[in-house]
Amino acid sequence: MKLRSLFRSVLKYRKTNLSLLLLITYSIIAILYVFDHQYYKLNLPKQDEQPEFNELLETAWTDLQIITASFHPYTSRENDKVHDYLLERVLKIARNASFASVSDDSNTKRSILFQQKDAFNAFSDVSRVTYFESSNILVKLEGKKPDEQGLLLSAHFDSVPTGRGATDDGMGVASLLANLEYHIKHRPDRTLIFNFNNNEEFGLLGASAYFDHPWSSLTKYVINLEGTGAGGKAVLFRTTDTSTAKIYQQSVKENPFGNSIYQQGFYSTYVRSETDYKIYEENGMRGWDIAFYKPRNIYHTMKDSIQYTSKASLWHMLHTSLQLSSYIVSNSLDTEDQTPACFFDLVGLKFFVMSAKTLFYWNCVFLLISPIVAISLYLISCDRMTWKSHSWLSWMRFPLSLVFGIVVQKLFSNIIIHYNCLTFSRNYFWPISAFFTIVVLADYILINCLNRFSPCTDMKSLSIIELFIMLWAILLFTSKRLYTSNYRYTGLYPFSILFVLTTLAAMLRLLTLALRPKAGKRHDGELVDRHSRYSSHSQINVEEGNHGTIQQFQNQLLSSQDEEESTHEDNASTTLAAPSLHVNDGQVSDSEPPQHDERAPLLKGSSDMETSSKPEYIDYAWILQFLVIVPIASFILFSSVDAVMDAVNQTVQEGSKATFDIIKFGMVGSILIALPILPFFYKVNYMTISLTVLLFLISISKTLLEPSFTNNNPLKVRFSQNIDLVHGNGANVHVLGREGDLLKPMLEDLPSIKFNSIPINCTSVTNGMELCTYDGIEPNLLTTDGETDISNMLKVHILHDNRNSTDRSPYEPIVAELLLEVKENRACTLLFNSESHAKSPVREITVYQDKSSDSQHSNSSKSIKIASGVDELQLHKLDFDRQAYHIGVQWFPKILTDGDLEDDNLDTKDELTVSISCYWGEYDSDSVVNGTAVRKIPAFDELLNYSPLSFSFTNEQKGLVIVKDVVSL
C-alpha cells in the first residue's frame, strides 16, 4: 500500500511533479545544445590513433597560415603570391602520380567575355557583360573508372581587400590541398578535379571560368567549400536534391551538420550572399555547398584571420569534405530522386533526410486523417458519455492567453525598436528569452485568473486539443506554401514535426475517453450516472452484489480520491479536501457529501457493494502527453530557431528592413518554442514561476540596457575613398553604416578631422543606412620620384568615334573605341547611359587583348552581342604591367531603337555617356614617394588606428579606392 501510494504521489499530475519534469527536460535540452556546439572541438585526430589524418590536419593548418599571411584580393599583387604558392604545392603533391595532371589558367592565358546576371542580387535587371582573365589552378586525378561521372572540389583563394580570408576561403583551400594529398595516395574510382579558383568575391568569376575549361565536361558533381563567417562548424548550406542529401547522410558519419532551413533562405532570396555553388548548379551540376556561416559582423573584416579560428574548425570542414568525397569517388550513386530535400542533423550524431515532396504528401495524409480520427473518437466518447461538455469560456482561455502574450510581445518589440533596435546583433538569446517568458507568463496569469473565478474541468486536455486545431490550420498553410514553391520551402519541416507530436498527445486523451466503460448503467430500471465528472486517472467500479470487505473498498475509494484530487488540481489549480468517511453497520458514506461530488458510487449498504474483479488501473496520461509533445518538439523548435538566428541575427546591421525581419522572427520563434509547454505551464509551482519572472527581468534588462556593439561583436562599417576626376572633389571618404548616433561621433574623433576642422556630412540613405563623407588624406597608390598626381591613375583616350561622321548612314550602328590607361590596376567598370534612349542602346562589346591603338593590329579580341542592350561592362585583367584596357563599343542610333526622329541637335543626337570607375584594393603595404616609404591608403589606416574596438571595417565596393571619370561618345 505504501509503495503504491508513493508511486501515485510521484507520478500524479500535480504542480511539483510537472515543474520537476519541465526542469529536467529543459536541462537536457541545454546539455544537448552545449554538446552540439562544443563536441567538434574534442574530435581532432590523434597522432597515435589516426596518424594519416593528423598529418593532413597539421599540413593544412600550415597551408592556412601561409595563405592568410597577407590580404590578397584579386586586385592585389599579393593575390599572385598566393596563386604561386598554391601552384607550387599542387605540383609537389602531384609530381609522382601518373594519373594526375595540373592546369594553370594564368599560364594558358585563359579569358572569358560573357553576359552575367548580378550574382548577388537576383532582382537586378541590369544587363551586364563581364570580361575576366582567369588564374584558376586545376588538378585532374583520372579515376580507375573514367567513364563514370566525375566529381569537382572547388574553393576560391582570393580574399576581400579588408580580410585575410582565413575562413573566406582559406580553410576551403587548405581542405582542398588536404583532399588532394589524400586522393593522390588513394586513387579514386571516379575522375576527381580540384578547382583552386580566383575572384569569387566580386562576381563568382573563377567558377564561371571553369566552364570554359575542357575538363569541365568530365564532372557532374561538385563539392564547394566556402566561408561566410569566422569559424565554428562547417554547415551543409544547401544541396541539389534529395539524392545528394542522402549521399551526404550515407557518407558523413562523424559530426554531420546541416539544415535545409538555410537552403530555403537561398531559395527565397532572403540570403543575399552567394557562393560559387550557384554558378555550378546553374550549369547543371549537382552537389553540396559546405560553408562556415557565422558570425556575420566579422565576415570580410580584419578579424577573418587565423587568430579568430581554430584547428577544430578547419578539421570539421576538412574531415566533412574528405568523408563526402571519398564516398562519392568510390561508390555507385543513387541519384534518381531530384526533388528538393528537407534535412537536419541531431546534435552532430545523426543526419535526417526526407524529400520535400514526400513531406508534402505526408502532410496531406495528416491533414486528412487526423481530424477524421479526432472526430470519431469524440463521437465515441459522447456516445459513451465520457466526454464532458465545456463552456465557451473554457474553450476560449488558451487562445485568449496566446493572443494576450502576442499583444504584450508586440508592445515590448516596439520598446526594443525605440530604445535598442540593434540589440540582436550582440546577442539574440536575451531578446528571444524575453519574448518567450512573456508568452508563458501571459498563459499562466490569464488561465489561472479565469480558473479562480470559473474553474475549468480539464484545462490541460482542452489546451492540447485546441493546439492541435491551430496547428492543423498552420500545417494546411505551410503545405500550400510547400506545394506552390515547387517544394523549395524546405525549412518548414519543424511545423510538421510539431503537428504530429501534438496530434499524438491530443489523440491520447481522446482515446482514453473513448475506451472507458460507458458512464451510465441501467439498474432496476434506473439509469445511474457514475462519471458525470470524469477523471483522467483511476476509476472504481462498484456494482451490486459486492462480497469484498469494507477495508478493501476504503482502500479503493482512497485511491479514487487521490486521483480525483490530482484531476481537480489540473482543473482549477486548487486542492479539494477529501471527504471524511464513516463506516456504520457495514455502510460507507460521506459525512457531508457535496451536491455534485461523484468520486464514490451510490452506496446502499454493504450488500450492495462489490469490488471490481479486475486489478485497479491508474492512467497517468498526462506524463505520456508531456513526454510526447514537450521534449522532442521543444528541442527541434529551439534548434531551428537558434540555427536561423545564429546565421542572420547580425544582418540587423544591414538595414532597417532586416532589423524588423529579425525582430519579427524572434517573436515568432519564441512563440514556437513556447507552444509545446503552454498546455501544461499554467500548473507549474511557485518556484518555477519565480524563476521565470526572474529570467524575464534579466532578459529585458539585457535586451534594453546592454550596448549593441562590443569588441567581440562590433558594428560593421563599409569604407571607400572616391576620387572624382570630373568634379575634382578630392579624395572623398565614404563611410557607410546603420543610421543613428554611431558613425559621426567616431569620425569626429579622428586626428585629421579634429586638427583640420574638416566637416563631416552624414545623410540617411535607403533602408535605414547612413552615409558619412569627408575629405580624407590622399592615397599613395603608386611609387614615384616626382609629385603624386591622382589624375595620373586613370586617363581615358577616345581612339575612334564615328557618331558624327558624314560617312555613316543614319541607320548604321555607331562604333567607337576607348583606351583606358590605368596604372597598377586589375578591375574597372563601365556604365553606359544615353539621355536620348529609354534603355541602353549598346548592342556589342569588344575587348582587345593588347593596348594597340589600331584594332586591326590587335593580337586577339573577344566580342559579344546582346540584343536587349548592355548597361554595364566589368573588366578584370591579371597583368599589372599591361596598363590599359582597349574597348570597342557599338550602339544603335535612336531611329533604330525608338523610331524617333525629333532630335535635331546633331551635337548630342545619339550621344553615349560612359561612366568609368576603376578600383584599387591593396592597402597593407607601402609606396615609395621621392625616396620615402608611405602608406598606400592613409585615410583607411587612420580609421583602423583610432576608431573604437566596437567598430570593424570592410570594403564598400570592389576596391578601397575608386577613381571615377566620364566621357561622352
Dump pLDDT digits (tens) for 12-37: 888 999 999 999 999 999 999 999 99
Least confident of 92-106, 757-771, 893-907: 893-907
Which amino acid type is present at position 965? D
Question: Do 86 and 175 fall into the same domain?
Answer: yes
Query: pLDDT by residue (tens digit) across 872-918?
Result: 999 999 999 888 999 999 998 887 776 655 555 555 678 889 999 99
Whole-number pLDDT of residue 903: 52
**685 vs 894, residue with greater confidence:** 685
pLDDT at 1: 56
Higher pLDDT, 613 or 486: 486
For residue 222, is it within any domain? Answer: yes
Q: What is the average per-residue pLDDT within 679-684? A: 94
Q: Is residue 866 part of a domain?
A: no
pLDDT band at 589 (very low <50, low <70, confident <90, very high): very low
Q: Which residues have CB under 8 Å from 509's CB, separation 6+?
A: 461, 464, 465, 536, 621, 625
- Average pLDDT of the segment spanning 426-442: 96
C-alpha cell at 714: 562590433
Strands (E) across 698-813 are located at 715-724, 731-738, 761-764, 769-775, 794-801
What pLDDT shows up at residue 845? Answer: 94
Domain final position from 697, 713, 729 = 713
Does the pLDDT of residue 615 top 70, yes or no? Answer: no
Pair (536, 674) in one structural domain = yes
**In a shared domain, residues 513 and 620:** yes
User: Is the domain of 204 the same as that of 162?
Assistant: yes
pLDDT value for 258? 96
Q: What is the domain range of residue 462? A: 359-576+597-713
Burial zone of 434 (CB within 10 Å; 0-12 exposed, 13-18 middle, 19+ buried): buried
Residues 332 and 406 in one domain: no
Task: Give yes or no for residue 607 having a pLDDT over 60.
Answer: no
Of the candidates 482, 440, 483, which has an alpha carbon nearest to the alpha carbon of residue 463? 440
Residue 104 has pLDDT above 80, yes or no: yes
Residue 535 has pLDDT above 50, yes or no: no
Residues 441 and 300 in one domain: no
pLDDT tens-digit readout, 205-246:
999 999 999 999 999 999 999 998 777 899 999 999 999 999
Q: What is the dihedral of CA 448, 449, 452, 456, to 10 degrees?
A: -60
Per-residue pLDDT at 902: 54
| Residues 226 and 372 placed together within one structural domain of the fold | no
What pLDDT does residue 643 have? 92
| Residues forming beta bridges with residue 605, ordered by sequence position | none
> Does residue 739 lie in a domain region?
no
Residue 565 above 60 pLDDT?
A: no
Higher pLDDT, 663 or 932: 663
Quote the percentage of the chain above a pLDDT of 70: 85
Which comes out higher in pLDDT, residue 546 or 421? 421
Mean pLDDT over 431-438 rounds to: 97
**pLDDT of 402 over the 60 cut:** yes
Residues of the chain above pLDDT 90, percent = 66
Distance (Å, rounded) from C-alpha 580 to C-alpha 857?
115
The pLDDT, as a whole number, for residue 593 is 40
Q: How many C-beta atoms lie closer than 10 Å to residue 545's C-beta?
A: 8
Residue 312's pLDDT is: 95
For position 7, what pLDDT does the model report?
65
At residue 808, the pLDDT reads: 85
pLDDT bin (cut points 50, 70, 90) of residue 520 is low
* Cβ(127)–Cβ(870) below 8 Å: yes
Arithmetic mean of pLDDT, 647-666: 91
Asked whether the predicted pLDDT for residue 649 surpasses 80, the reply is yes
Which of 342, 331, 347 minimizes the C-alpha distance to 251? 331
pLDDT computed for residue 890 by the predictor: 93
Mean pLDDT of all residues in 854-863? 62
Q: Is 27 a domain residue?
A: no
What's the pLDDT band for 616 if we cut at 50, 70, 90? very low
Q: Which residues contact 376 (CB under 8 A, 6 or more apart)?
A: none
Q: What is the pLDDT of residue 613?
A: 41
CATH number at residue 263: 3.40.630.10
Strand order in the sheet with 884-891: 794-801, 814-822, 884-891, 842-848, 861-865
Mean predicted confidence (pLDDT) in 425-453: 94
382 and 431 co-located in one domain: yes
Same domain as 365, residue 334: no
Identify the domain boundary among 713, 737, 756. 713
pLDDT digits (tens, 9 = 90+) for 283-294: 999 999 999 988
> What is the C-alpha end-to-end distance of the chain, expressed in Å?
102
Tell me the average pLDDT across 915-923. Answer: 93
Q: How confident is the model at residue 155 (pLDDT cuts 50, 70, 90)?
A: very high
| 87 located within any domain | yes
pLDDT for 448-505, tens place per residue? 999 888 888 788 999 999 999 999 999 999 999 999 999 999 999 999 999 999 999 9
Q: Which residue has the higher pLDDT, 959 or 574?
A: 959
Tens-place pLDDT, residues 47-71: 888 999 999 999 999 999 999 999 9
Q: At what angle do helices 459-484 and 621-648 cross, to 10 degrees?
A: 40
Q: Of 713, 728, 755, which residue sits at a domain end?
A: 713
CB 183 within 8 A of CB 192: yes
Q: pTM of the full predicted structure? A: 0.88
pLDDT at 601: 42
Mean pLDDT score across all residues of the chain: 86
- Contact 845/127 with Cβ under 8 angstroms? no
| pLDDT of residue 929 exceeding 90 | no
More confident residue, 588 or 753: 753
| 229 inside domain | yes
The answer to whether residue 835 scores a pLDDT higher than 70 is no
Q: What pLDDT was estimated at residue 158?
A: 96
* In the predicted structure, residue 566 carries a pLDDT above the cut 60: no
Radius of gyration (Cα) for the chain, nearest Å?
36
The reply to whether 536 and 652 lie within a common domain is yes
**Quick check: is 122 in a domain?**
no
Q: Is pLDDT of 542 > 60? A: no
Least trusted range by pLDDT, from 103-117, 145-159, 649-663, 778-792: 778-792
pLDDT band at 733 (very low <50, low <70, confident <90, very high): very high
Residue 532 has pLDDT above 80, yes or no: no
Question: Predicted confidence band at 152 (pLDDT cuts at 50, 70, 90)?
Answer: very high
Residues 304 and 421 in one domain: no
Say yes or no to pLDDT of 324 above 60: yes
Task: Give 716-725 pLDDT, tens digit per residue.
Answer: 999 999 999 8
> What are residue 588's DSSP bridge partners?
583
12 in any annotated domain: no
Contact 325, 242 (CB under 8 A): no
Instruction: Report the domain count for the chain.
Output: 2
Active site residues: 200
| Range of lowest pLDDT (308-322, 555-569, 711-725, 808-822) | 555-569
| Whether residue 285 is found in the same domain as residue 404 | no
pLDDT of residue 56: 96
Q: How many whole angstroms from its chain centre is CA 177?
A: 28
